[in-house]
Homo-oligomer: A and B are copies of this chain.
């Protein structure tokens, strides 16, 4: 069926070893032979069998990446960053989407383990340190993405979520907001950190309240549901600002308030999101947000992984600082004084 080195060798009148050398170390082969072999390769349309190479090498030339949600532009950006860095090393990225589901996450880790990937980049759903420790004990290092490693057992590339939450709420408070609602799924680590930062910022000023509106996911749909609950309240019990745990949620809240309801943003309610995805700027009301260097995260994560593959002993924790991006959704409007 498929042509192998053997066929190439036969046609070129050399041994398989020589074919292999032409493929991997052409310098070690006489120019005339190289040509003859390449000719045969061309003629037969020979394509290396990766499975055989992997079997021989003991591991594949790919890196597994498990993200929480492929539909979230933040993660596709991270993936892009990782891909670019990996390509430079002639490695490819296997992208897995856990969709916040521990079973799916575990499925991908199984798959990656079976594939003997070079290493795994993961934004864990679950607390998976034991799982990752097992991987490592089998020679597959892991780097946490968008999540700090607890005991420093793993290298990680993350963004200071507490600082991000603080930035967001401090901004809301400074622009005069007092009754702040935090919208997000409290089961998620990053979200909890953002909430902690938010609480801290709220606590720094008298008279600021912070309530939590729980959602079950970080999606536009969930945001819309949360927004509807806010919209349906008595105006006097409504928050005057919403800090959403990510932009998808924020966009959903925005939809519910502005498009499906009659609440004005930012006049009645200010909204700030998190991630600063491309779509944030193009929203109904352009969305203020907390920017994370997403592609850079992917890039650095691969770098740390490769260092570990190459035997680096120290685990490194890279923590980027987030950045506040102010847009119309949190504008200090003149209109508010009317009330």
Are A114 and B50 closer than 8 Å at their CB atoms? yes
Q: Which of chain A's residues 44-92 have a Cβ closer than 8 Å to chain B?
A: 45, 47-52, 54-55, 58, 60, 70-71, 73, 76-77, 79-80, 83, 92
A285 partner residues in chain B, CB cutoff 8 A: 284
5 new A-B contacts, CB < 8 A, other than A71-B73, A254-B282, A284-B284, are: A2-B58, A51-B52, A71-B278, A83-B97, A259-B281
Asked whether B94 lies within 8 Å of A251 as measured between CB atoms, the reply is: no
Q: Is A29 an interface residue (CB 8 A)?
A: no
Using CB atoms, name the residue of chain B closest to A287.
B282
Chain B positions within 8 Å of A111 at CB level: 92
A292 adjacent to chain B (CB < 8 Å): no
Q: Which of B50, B80, B83, B97 contacts A116 (CB 8 A)?
A: B50
Within the complex, what minimum Cβ distance (angstroms) separates A162 from chain B? Answer: 28
Q: Are B79 and A45 neighbours in the complex by a CB distance under 8 Å?
A: no
CB distance from A260 to the nearest CB of B (A): 10
Separation of A138 and B3 alpha carbons in the complex (Å): 9
Q: How many copies does the complex hold?
A: 2
Bound-state Cα–Cα, A76 to B114, Å: 25
Closest residue of B by beta carbon distance from A139: B1
A138 touching B2, Cβ below 8 Å: yes
Is A113 located at the chain interface by the 8 A CB criterion? Answer: yes
Task: Give the residue of B2, B220, B279 whose beta carbon is less than 8 angstroms from that of A251.
Answer: B279
Which A residues between 115 and 133 are near B, CB-CB below 8 angstroms? 115-116
A1 near B58 (CB under 8 angstroms)? yes
Mark A residues whose CB is within 8 Å of B.
1-2, 45, 47-52, 54-55, 58, 60, 70-71, 73, 76-77, 79-80, 83, 92, 94-95, 97, 110-111, 113-116, 134, 138-139, 220, 251-252, 254-255, 259, 278-279, 281-286
A51 and B60 within 8 A (CB)? yes
B55 touches A51 (CB 8 A): yes
The distance in angstroms between the C-alpha atoms of A95 and B279, with both chains bound, is 23
Question: In the bound complex, what is the Cα–Cα distance between A71 and B45 (angstroms)?
Answer: 34
Q: Which residues of B contact A279 (CB under 8 A)?
A: 251, 279, 282
| Bound Cα distance from A51 to B115, whole angstroms | 7
Are B80 and A71 in touch, CB under 8 angstroms? Answer: yes
Q: Chain B: which residue is nearest A69 at the CB level? A: B76
A140 and B111 CA atoms in complex are apart in Å by: 22
Given contacts A2-B58, A134-B45, A139-B1, A220 and B116 within 8 Å (CB-CB)? no
Contact status B51-A2, CB under 8 Å? no
Give Cα A60 to B282, complex, Å: 42
The smallest beta-carbon distance between A143 and chain B, in angstroms, is 20
In the complex, the answer to whether B2 meets A48 with C-beta atoms within 8 Å is no
**Closest B residue to A138 using CB positions:** B2
A79 touches B70 (CB 8 A): yes
CA of A281 to CA of B139, assembled, Å: 46
Query: Are A255 and B281 also in contact (CB < 8 A) when A50-B115, A79-B70, A80-B71 are?
Result: yes
In the complex, chain B residues whose CB is within 8 Å of the CB of A55: 49, 51-52, 55
Rounded to whole angstroms, the CA-CA distance of A259 and B79 in the bound complex is 30
The 3 closest A-B pairs by CB, nearest first: A51-B54, A51-B55, A50-B114
In chain B, what residue has the closest Cβ to A54? B51
